[in-house]
A and B are shown apart, each in its own frame.
Chain A
Amino acid sequence: MKMNGSQILLECLKREGVEVVFGYPGGQILPTFDALYGYEGFKFILTRHEQGAAHAADGYARATGKVGVCLATSGPGATNLVTGIANAFMDSIPMVAITGQVPTGLIGNDAFQEADITGITRPITKHNYLVKDIKDLARIVREAFYIASSGRPGPVLIDLPKDVQVAQTEFIWPQEIKLRSYNPNYSGHPGQIKRAAKLIMEAKRPIIYAGGGIITSGASFELLELAEKTGCPVTWTLMGIGGFPSKHKQSLGMLGMHGTAYANHSIMESDLIIALGARFDDRVTGRLDLFAPDAKVIHIDIDPSSISKNVHVDIPIVGDARQVITELSSEIKQVLSIEDWLKHVDSLKKKYPMRYKDKDKILPQYVIQQIDEVTRGDAIICTEVGQHQMWAAQWFNYTKPRTFISSGGLGTMGFGFPASIGAKLGRPEKTVFNVAGDGSIQMNIQELGTCVANKINVKVAILNNGYLGMVRQWQELFYKRRYSYTPITSPDFVKLAESYGAAGIRVTKKEEVRPALERAIKTDNTVFIDFHVEEEENVYPMVPAGEAINNIIGGLA
């Protein structure tokens, strides 16, 4: 059947199983929006900014494991996607971003709303395409979805010139995709897995260090099996939150800059690190030359370039975390004799518990704990970036994968709110919270319009302290309390929410926290809850940047 480029694009998206596309129209994507008019193959959500569309697609992908899709016009539409694409790239999130482009004949002429978006996004996409010939379109869309979702996932951009959108051709759906230069390896080397198992069985002080790869590959059950079979304590990265039940007796919580003191001390004292789908980021290792000096390292990762990038690895295993962990578990044939180590780890837990000093004012940590209690831990928690993000990571007991959605690698303020929209559309049965700061929420606050117009019911808990809190904390600790441009004003969030047609609740007293949360959850609308919290509360424990991760400052830890 003959179709034009826009129709082919929509048909391909539908066949790829796309349920929802987030986007914004514009001149060079007009033919595709014309095809979208009345189209019922999938849902289309008009965001209020293209950045919102990119983050919403990202949030949808994180909540569901499926490929998130966003659509924008050329030039400014495309460049507004850039932060969202970079964010997805850093956290290995499967996404397909589609942009309109000026007609092929005008490319390179500095045409109106022209930007070289394939050039701009080259270093922040897993791959990208400029479609020059309508005959390539169906194949390119299939390849884009395949590349985005396989191996180490990531964003793929398709730049679609206007003349290609209107050109006609016979629609042929490519049955299979074959790329001679791209064949991700999923199964680990059997010999290496045997050697890794041997090392684990011989270890005296082993620790499992789990990252986002556990979530991506769906390996939480396999991780639990390996942990229980070996008895190893388990710590995780920000991206690994939800991959292991946080209340499990072997759980050490998150490690790194704002990790638990006992996780940091444990990994520093370990003699074997079993790294599963994690990449030894600088926020995790602190000062590299002092990191875990006695530890041998087994590193399982789908991306060979993550292995031996930062730390020396004794046993590298390239493969899918889930497959490799399953095989590794089956090679563990004896009980580990690590009782002394486990006793020691327990003593560290007792010595450095996670706690904070309660005050009369509302403490942000308390708000997070209340969200946990009110939802009984059964919610998807999205975050922006800053202090509130770390508190949301520390004080909610995550038990399931894909329930903590946060910008890890890029650290993008303004991510959480649009991401919560994507998460809610992907998992409508879940209560979805966006934990925000008063600074971050203002970065994509326009998406209130998207929520209300589409009846997307998310709860936004603003931990409002009047500061760009994380930067203020660093200024307090490392810049002699010179609060350079970190005090920040906010609108009346309650009135603002109401003016959009959403609901707003202001909470200034501790005893109001819980009733406010209960009311918000019962409200069948998007709710902004403006918690006026202690202004200068700090996130602890904390490891100063560039220090060894057992050099922990501040707080009660």
Chain B
Amino acid sequence: MKHTISVLVENKFGVLARIAGLFSARGYNIASLAVSETLDPSVSYMTIVVEARDEKVLEQINKQLNKLIDVITVTDFTKKEHIDRELVLAKINYTPKDKAKLEGVFDKFVGKIVRHKADTAIIEAVGDEHQIKALLEELDKFGIKELVRTGKLAIE
């Protein structure tokens, strides 16, 4: 099962390697990872989506992360009310005759065309996990040529 956790860390070189190393050394899978500076430039915020087969593994991930000296706090969003979003950029097959069809998609999802060239368009869209999943199913009908995603961001 996938779990979303956030980790506040000291913004020092090598911290990302410590976190990533912990996951690989103990055989935990990272599904996505997003890192950025916070309001306090000495602190970085990581949103990590992990695959954990049970509660015990999740508990260990939490405890092991907390053991790292540079980790300030770990929050497990699994049972917490939170907002999560992901941004995707998708290059799809698109010609002007698809316009109405695509507008129909954007009625349901937060997205727009950010660039249109010949027979492709780059779509930018933001949403939670379910919205992104549903959107990608819709876009798949056009034919997705390339897809990049930020990974999930989450906040309490």
User: Are B69 and A122 interface neighbours, CB within 8 A?
Assistant: no
User: Are B56 and A181 interface neighbours, CB within 8 A?
Assistant: no
CB proximity of B144 to chain A, nearest CB, Å: 37
User: Are A309 and B60 interface neighbours, CB within 8 A?
Assistant: yes
Q: How far is the CA of A275 from the CA of B56 in the complex (A)?
A: 19
User: Are B25 and A304 interface neighbours, CB within 8 A?
Assistant: no
Give the nearest-CB partner of B9 in chain A.
Answer: A181
Q: How far is the CA of A39 from the CA of B128 in the complex (A)?
A: 63
Using known A-B contacts A304-B63, A309-B60, determine if residue A122 contacts B72 with beta carbons closer than 8 Å: no
Q: How far is the CA of A118 from the CA of B70 in the complex (A)?
A: 14
User: Are A181 and B71 interface neighbours, CB within 8 A?
Assistant: yes
Mark each residue of chain B from 45 to 73: 1 if its CB lies under 8 Å from any CB of chain A, else 0: 00000000000100110011011011110
User: Are B63 and A305 interface neighbours, CB within 8 A?
Assistant: yes
Chain B residues with CB under 8 Å of A308's CB are 56, 59
Q: How far is the CA of A122 from the CA of B21 in the complex (A)?
A: 8
Mark each residue of chain A from 450 to 486: 1 if its CB lies under 8 Å from any CB of chain B, else 0: 0000000000000000000000000000000000000
Chain B residues with CB under 8 Å of A119's CB are 17
Give the nearest-CB partner of B63 in chain A.
Answer: A305
CB proximity of A4 to chain B, nearest CB, Å: 24
Interface size bracket, A side: 10 to 19
Give the nearest-CB partner of A152 in chain B.
Answer: B67
Which of B21, B64, B69, B71 contacts A147, CB < 8 Å?
B69
User: Are B69 and A182 interface neighbours, CB within 8 A?
Assistant: yes
Instruction: Decide if A130 is an interface residue (CB 8 Å cutoff).
Output: yes
Chain B residues with CB under 8 Å of A309's CB are 60
User: Are A181 and B60 interface neighbours, CB within 8 A?
Assistant: no
Instruction: Decide if A127 is an interface residue (CB 8 Å cutoff).
Output: yes
User: Are B56 and A179 interface neighbours, CB within 8 A?
Assistant: no
Q: How far is the CA of A147 from the CA of B67 in the complex (A)?
A: 11
Q: How far is the CA of A122 from the CA of B20 in the complex (A)?
A: 11
Cβ < 8 Å to A, chain B residues 1-47: 9-10, 13-14, 17-18, 21-22, 25
Q: How far is the CA of A126 from the CA of B70 in the complex (A)?
A: 11
User: Are B14 and A181 interface neighbours, CB within 8 A?
Assistant: no
Q: How far is the CA of A215 from the CA of B112 in the complex (A)?
A: 64
Instruction: Decide if A174 is an interface residue (CB 8 Å cutoff).
Output: no
Mark each residue of chain A from 305 to 326: 1 if its CB lies under 8 Å from any CB of chain B, else 0: 1001100000000000000000
Interface size bracket, B side: 20 to 34
Give the nearest-CB partner of A132 in chain B.
Answer: B13
Mark each residue of chain A from 206 to 248: 1 if its CB lies under 8 Å from any CB of chain B, else 0: 0000000000000000000000000000000000000000000
Mark each residue of chain A from 92 to 135: 1 if its CB lies under 8 Å from any CB of chain B, else 0: 00000000000000000000000000110011001100100000
* Residue in A118, A127, A130, A305 whose Cβ sees the most chain B Cβ within 10 Å: A305
Using known A-B contacts A122-B21, A123-B21, A305-B67, determine if residue A130 contacts B72 with beta carbons closer than 8 Å: no
Chain A residues with CB under 8 Å of B67's CB are 303-305
CB proximity of B72 to chain A, nearest CB, Å: 4
User: Are B17 and A122 interface neighbours, CB within 8 A?
Assistant: yes
Using known A-B contacts A126-B69, A147-B69, determine if residue A181 contacts B63 with beta carbons closer than 8 Å: no
CB proximity of A512 to chain B, nearest CB, Å: 49
Q: How far is the CA of A119 from the CA of B21 in the complex (A)?
A: 10
* Residue in A122, A126, A130, A303 whose Cβ sees the most chain B Cβ within 10 Å: A122
User: Are A181 and B70 interface neighbours, CB within 8 A?
Assistant: yes
Chain B residues with CB under 8 Å of A122's CB are 14, 17-18, 21
Give the nearest-CB partner of B64 in chain A.
Answer: A305
Instruction: Decide if A376 is an interface residue (CB 8 Å cutoff).
Output: no
Q: How far is the CA of A147 from the CA of B70 in the complex (A)?
A: 12
Instruction: Decide if A180 is an interface residue (CB 8 Å cutoff).
Output: yes
* Residue in A147, A180, A303 whose Cβ sees the most chain B Cβ within 10 Å: A180
Which of A130, A179, A303 contacts B14, CB < 8 Å?
A130
User: Are A304 and B66 interface neighbours, CB within 8 A?
Assistant: yes
Chain A residues with CB under 8 Å of B13's CB are 130
Cβ < 8 Å to A, chain B residues 116-155: none
User: Are B59 and A180 interface neighbours, CB within 8 A?
Assistant: no
Which of A118, A123, A181 contacts B25, CB < 8 Å?
A123
User: Are A179 and B69 interface neighbours, CB within 8 A?
Assistant: yes
Chain B residues with CB under 8 Å of A182's CB are 69
* Residue in B22, B66, B69 whose Cβ sees the most chain A Cβ within 10 Å: B69
Interface residues of A (CB under 8 A from B): 118-119, 122-123, 126-127, 130, 147, 179-182, 303-305, 308-309
Interface residues of B (CB under 8 A from A): 9-10, 13-14, 17-18, 21-22, 25, 56, 59-60, 63-64, 66-67, 69-72
Q: A182-B69, A305-B67 are in contact. List 20 more A-B contacts (CB 8 A).
A: A118-B14, A119-B17, A122-B14, A122-B17, A122-B21, A123-B22, A123-B25, A127-B70, A130-B14, A179-B69, A181-B10, A181-B69, A181-B70, A181-B71, A181-B72, A304-B66, A304-B67, A305-B60, A305-B63, A305-B64
**Chain A to chain B: the 5 pairs with minimum beta-carbon distance, closest first:** A305-B63, A127-B69, A181-B72, A123-B25, A304-B63
Q: List 24 A-B contacts (CB under 8 A).
A: A118-B14, A119-B17, A122-B14, A122-B17, A122-B18, A122-B21, A123-B21, A123-B25, A127-B69, A130-B13, A130-B14, A147-B69, A179-B69, A181-B9, A181-B71, A303-B67, A304-B63, A304-B66, A305-B60, A305-B63, A305-B64, A308-B56, A308-B59, A309-B60
